[in-house]
Amino acid sequence: MALAFDEYGRPFILIKQQDEKGRLRGLDAQKANISAGKAVARILRTSLGPKGMDKMLQSPDGDVTITNDGATILEQMDVDNQIAKLMVELSQSQDYEIGDGTTGVVVMAGALLEQAEHLLERGIHPIRVAEGYEMASRIAVEHLEHISQKFEFGLDNIESLVQTCMTTLNSKIVNRCKRSLAEIAVKAVLAVADLERKDVNLDLIKIEGKVAGKLEDTELIYGITVDKEMSHPQMPKQIEDAKIAILTCPFEPPKPKTKHKVDIDTVEKFETLRVQEQKYFDDMVQKCKDVGATLVICQWGFDDEANHLLMNRNLPAVRWVGGVELELIAIATGGRIVPRFQELTPEKLGKAGLVREKAFGTTKDRMLYIEHCANSRAVTIFIRGGNKMMIEETKRSMHDALCVARNLIRNNSIVYGGGSAEISCSIAVEAAADKYPGVEQYAIRAFADALDCIPMALAENSGLQPIETLSAVKSQQIKENNSYCGIDCNDTGTNDMREQNVFETLIGKKQQILLATQVVKMILKIDDVISPFDY
Ligand code: ADP
């Protein structure tokens, strides 16, 4: 190492091994990058579609995740290569913006890279390829708009929304219960949606899970759940029109703050003290009753005597509720958190249509459901399942379904799935290629071939002959001039995706094509890779 000075006199260090750094230039750089991107896409390819395989990923601390959600697989993989990281981010941005189609977008990008490799080998300049891809993606997106259809739904006609969510759930592990889960997702989204502004705040939908029970027991709760139970087993398990006092002060006589001494040397004195204490509790309970509370939710505990008294005075209570949950209850029920007993007033009570305690199985596991809350439209999806992995995967699948329903509310255009939209776009892009006299037409054709990769992967994953199936479907689309023939993955006997009710949102599909093209263009434009490692 040597110290040198720049023209401003600032010192900098020269590292001798500078030239030992790995460096790739020109075509080599592009090829290395392409193969890194392709490697990532290859991993996800087998997970695409309803018959796609799942991946099992083990984290360094031994946690196991089983999933076929593209974004999750890539997120859990420890990817070192920078280009591979771009693919990971690609899948995440699809997840972030749309929520579904995270596998498809990476498979599409992989196919575009593969096609680009052939073009580069034939001597076409990467910039021409990138430009051709850009043109082709615009043609494809325009064509998607052309073949898209409007999907009508209303609050009393949710069937179409349910069907679209079912398409998403088809390819997940939870597809056994796709109908009920899709209904839950749609109802949850409609509960929090603002249909006039076409907006859905997914933050208002809480997804909770509890191990045990069956997936079929998963339910939608119009309110919130708290992992607590009534403080006394004989307290009522169900309270209608509950008025809730939310307390962060202890339910006990105040402790003296400085040292005091109380001498109790006779039974009478002890009795007096006890009666005093009891009266104190009694007053507290009375105060709650006076303001009209029918349920007390306490951040702190109270001893058995207070508990007994509460039960006797018929004032149900819940103790040891965490701060975060307390806040949530306060927001949902429109109540105020009361830090001091003296401040309890009727207006500070939270209101809920129904508070009930639910027991699970034969265990002592109980939870509190606070439903039909006054203020908030917040809902909770409560997932049940045999093990933690199942619950986690259901949560992810639910997230996808919720996103699809939200996307449809934002924009109710759909295209047909099962690869049919891609085949139709491929035909359109191929036809458009002839109109371009320049070298770009090769790239445009290559783009059309890349689009075919999605139906091919779907066919391959379902055990069908990919090339045969694709060419049959393609010729059928051309002959019948339709855009709804796709891959019959589930072997239902028809490849008409309208009949099979396999839809995807237009914005999701558009985003897939645009994002994949963007990333591939970016990768193609890199012609110099300098890294601290040797290649
Ligand atoms: P992604 O993470 O990209 O959503 P999936 O594994 O969920 O990937 O697969 C989605 C693909 O599967 C879409 O192209 C969709 O059209 C297709 N698909 C879903 N259900 C069916 C079905 N019943 N028949 C044929 N294709 C289907």
pLDDT in tens, the chain (535 residues): 566 777 776 766 665 555 555 777 777 888 888 888 888 898 899 999 888 888 888 888 888 888 888 888 888 887 778 888 888 899 989 888 888 888 999 999 999 999 999 999 888 898 899 999 999 999 999 999 999 888 777 777 788 888 888 888 887 888 888 899 999 999 999 888 888 888 888 888 889 888 878 888 899 988 888 888 888 888 898 999 999 999 998 877 766 667 777 788 899 988 998 888 888 888 888 989 999 999 999 998 888 888 888 888 899 999 999 888 888 888 888 899 999 888 899 999 999 999 998 887 766 778 899 988 877 778 899 998 888 888 988 998 999 899 888 888 888 888 998 899 999 999 999 999 888 888 889 999 999 999 999 999 999 999 999 999 999 999 999 998 888 889 988 888 888 888 888 888 899 999 999 999 999 999 888 877 777 655 4
**Is 362 annotated as catalytic?**
no
Q: Could you say which of 46, 72, 225, 400 is catalytic?
A: 400
CA distance 50 to 294: 50
Residue nearest atom 26 in ligand 1 by C-alpha distance: 418
CA distance 223 to 191: 10
Whether the Cβ atoms of residue 246 and residue 337 lie closer than 8 Å to each other: yes
Ligand 1 atom nearest 418 alpha carbon: 26
Helix, strand, coil fractions of the chain, as percent rounded to 5: 50, 20, 30
Q: Could you say which of 65, 67, 102, 164 is catalytic?
A: 102
Tokens of 527: 């012609």
SS (H, E, C) 139-178: HHHHHHHHHCEECCCECCECHHHHHHHHHHHHCCHHHHHH
By most ligand atoms within 8 Å of CB, the mutation choice from 66, 97, 171, 453 for ligand 1 is 171
Q: Outline where DSSP puts E strands in 84-161.
A: 149-150
Residue nearest atom 4 in ligand 1 by C-alpha distance: 101
**Is 400 annotated as catalytic?**
yes
Ligand 1 atom nearest 419 alpha carbon: 14
By most ligand atoms within 8 Å of CB, the mutation choice from 167, 393, 400, 492 for ligand 1 is 167
Pocket lined around ligand 1, Cβ cut-off 6 Å: 47-50, 52, 68-70, 100-104, 167, 170-171, 417-419, 454, 458, 486-487, 489-490, 500, 502, 504
Helix (H) or strand (E) holding 428: helix 420-433
For 376-388, give the DSSP string: ---EEEEEEESSH
